[in-house]
Structure 1
Amino acid sequence: MAATEGFVEADNAEAIITRIEHKSRKIETLLKQYKTVEALKTALEGSPPNTKDERCKSANWIVVHRALMAIKDLDALFSSLDPEYYDILMKYLYRGLSTGDRPTCDQCLRIHEKLTEKAGLGCILRSLADTVNTV
């Protein structure tokens, strides 16, 4: 039975990867139209993938990272980003900081500062305390 459960998870992972690939194409289209805030919203929708499969998490991170790095106007971002996205965005910011990549870290710190101003310290605590929805 354990082998069957692993197989179901693998099928589920493939379905999630397919959805992430579709989301990636949509985000690239939005970025080409200079709709960076919409691209980030799209990237955050349905995140994190409800799986323990690292391939899915990595694939989703790549999509979110692409949208994060395109954001230039933070005021426009937070004037149109719904508060429901704040906690998940914070999780991805910490994932970005953990990469050690200088441009990624710089961008994540810029967004982190504004997000903390907008959402408060509770956003940080919720993102760190949530062990179920890992990115």
Structure 2
Amino acid sequence: MDVNFRKIDIDAYDEDVISEGELYEADPRDPGQVLEDAKAKAAAVRSSLSKGDMAGALGTILDSPPFGANVEDAKNLTLQTVVTVLNSTKSADIPNVVKSLTPEAQDTLMKYLYKGMAMPGWGDVSGSVLLGWHEKLTDVAGTGCIVRAMTDHRLV
């Protein structure tokens, strides 16, 4: 009996294999530029938070988030900033903040909620805060927001 067939890499012969670069357009910005943009947004968010403008702070950080390869520092900084905004918002204010976001920002927020849920014990991520935001976001944006966040290949 010939068992060599088990050592063949079938994907090497499959024409339908999709590489990560074919799933979405790469971020046109340089990785250094992406990190600088993330730092500038973090400073703007801190300014908005000091003024009590939670909706403005969240809208600022969710606008054109970093995605793709080689921008892990910018992704982590953006996640930390999003978590800071989420933790700073009173639970009674969450529905109004979510309603003020654009549909694209709502989808991006859902991605960050799931990313935070996937990192237990990371920083000051609280599961109850993330689940509270998830509930309010789903109430406002519907379940389509969940589907769009799960199927978009641009990972935040």
User: Is TM more than 0.5 here?
Assistant: yes
Report how far residue 104 of structure 1 moved.
2.3
The gaps in structure 2 that reach 5 residues or longer are: 1-26
Q: Secondary structure at the match of 1:99?
A: coil
Q: Secondary structure at the match of 1:52?
A: coil
The gaps in structure 1 that reach 5 residues or longer are: 1-8
Give CA deviations for 1:39-77 in whole Å, capped at 9, x if unaligned.
Answer: 111110111x14312222112212222222212111221
Structure 1 counterpart of 2:76, from 45, 53, 58 = 58
State the alpha-carbon separation in 2 of the partners of residues 103 and 19 from structure 1: 23
Structure 1 counterpart of 2:141, from 119, 128, 131 = 119
Q: Flag as ranges the 4+ runs of structure 1 deviating above 4 A.
A: none
Structure 1 counterpart of 2:87, from 69, 74, 83 = 69
Q: Secondary structure at the match of 1:117?
A: helix
20 and 114 in structure 1: CA distance in 2 versus 1, 3 angstrom threshold: same
**RMSD of aligned alpha carbons:** 1.9
Q: Aligned residue for 1:36?
A: 54
Identity %: 31
Radius of gyration: which is bigger? 2
CA contact under 8 A between 1:13 and 1:51: conserved in structure 2?
no
1:22 aligns with 2:44: no
Give CA deviations for 1:54-106 in whole Å, capped at 9, x if unaligned.
Answer: 22211221222222221211122123222221111100000111121485221
With normalisation by structure 2, the TM-score equals 0.72
CA contact under 8 A between 2:41 and 2:61: conserved in structure 1?
yes
CA contact under 8 A between 1:27 and 1:39: conserved in structure 2?
yes
CA contact under 8 A between 1:27 and 1:42: conserved in structure 2?
yes
Decide which structure has greater helix share: 1
Total equivalences in the alignment:
124
State the alpha-carbon separation in 1 of the partners of residues 35 and 54 from structure 2: 22
Report how far residue 126 of structure 1 moved.
1.1
